[in-house]
Amino acid sequence: MSKETEIPIEKRNVIVDLHKSKKSFKEIAEVTKVNFYTVRYIIRKWKKIGQVANISGRGRKMSTTPRFDRQIIKEVTLNRSISAPKLNAGLLSYYQVQISDQTVRNRIKSQGYNGRVARKKPLVSRVNEKKRFNWAKAHSGWTLEDWKKVMFTDESKFCLFESGGNRRVWRKAGEALKKECLRPTVKHGGGN
């Protein structure tokens, strides 16, 4: 068996029963097709604690508490574009708890958030939102012939607002178009 495969409880009981019937470790390993050292480990564990089932609480302990994990998620929901190192540094200065950046990422991902590139959306003020809505309502009855009379022009983009690089945000599935997960863009005049 491969090293990662866990031996089923039934097979462990068979190993213990064969040991009780005075079989050697080598004979048990051949009969059950389990590694010799695994057979020896199972029998030693059975002799020591009297059971072959997994002991509760095994494995590495969590380096954070549930309360600390909730604080990590709270910080992410307040600032979706915060990086794990910056979040970790802020938590370290406030809580004096030393954890790795990867642990922060793991806690965020365990709550369903993933780091994604923010979708771009033109930045529209509240006043312009109302104007656009009213314009759309006023023109909702236009026919194809009406729209053929309109001339559309193309624009050139110049990055004066922010760099053209990607900004990443933490978001759950289905949150791509939430306001806090978007990257606003602004078009500046001139240079056409």
On whether the CB atoms of residues 107 and 69 are closer than 8 A, the answer is yes
The answer to the question of residue 133 being in a domain is: yes
Residue 4 sits in a domain whose CATH number is 1.10.10.10
Rounded to two decimals, what is the model's pTM? 0.51
The answer to the question of residue 190 being in a domain is: no
Instruction: Tell whether 54 and 70 lie within a shared domain.
Output: no
The answer to the question of residue 153 being in a domain is: yes
The answer to the question of residue 191 being in a domain is: no
Instruction: Tell whether 134 and 176 lie within a shared domain.
Output: yes
Instruction: Tell whether 134 and 83 lie within a shared domain.
Output: no
Distance, CA of 39 to CA of 31 (rounded, Å): 11
The answer to the question of residue 101 being in a domain is: yes
Going by pLDDT thresholds of 50, 70 and 90, the confidence category of residue 157 is: low
Instruction: Tell whether 32 and 80 lie within a shared domain.
Output: no
The answer to the question of residue 86 being in a domain is: yes
Instruction: Tell whether 9 and 51 lie within a shared domain.
Output: yes
Tokens 């809505």 correspond to 133
Which range is least confidently modeled, 19-23, 72-76, 92-96, 182-186? 182-186
Tokens 């990662």 correspond to 4
Distance, CA of 76 to CA of 132 (rounded, Å): 32
Residue 85: what pLDDT? 92
What are 30-80's pLDDT values in tens digits? 999 999 999 999 999 899 888 888 877 777 888 888 888 999 999 999 998
Instruction: Tell whether 103 and 147 lie within a shared domain.
Output: no
The DSSP result for the chain, as a single string, is: --TTPPPPHHHHHHHHHHHHTT--HHHHHHHHT--HHHHHHHHHHHHHHS--SPPTT-SPPPSS-HHHHHHHHHHHHH-TT--HHHHHHHHHHHH-----HHHHHHHHHHTT-EEEEPEEEE---HHHHHHHHHHHHHTTT--HHHHHTPPP--------SS-SS--EEEE-TT-TTSGGGEEEE-PPSS--
Instruction: Tell whether 13 and 55 lie within a shared domain.
Output: yes
- Decide if pLDDT at 192 tops 50: no
Residue 20 lies in domain: 1-59
Instruction: Tell whether 143 and 177 lie within a shared domain.
Output: yes
- Decide if pLDDT at 126 tops 80: yes
Instruction: Tell whether 101 and 131 lie within a shared domain.
Output: no
Distance, CA of 181 to CA of 82 (rounded, Å): 11
- Domain end point (choices 59, 74, 93): 59
Going by pLDDT thresholds of 50, 70 and 90, the confidence category of residue 1 is: very low
How many domains does the chain divide into? 3
Instruction: Tell whether 101 and 157 lie within a shared domain.
Output: no
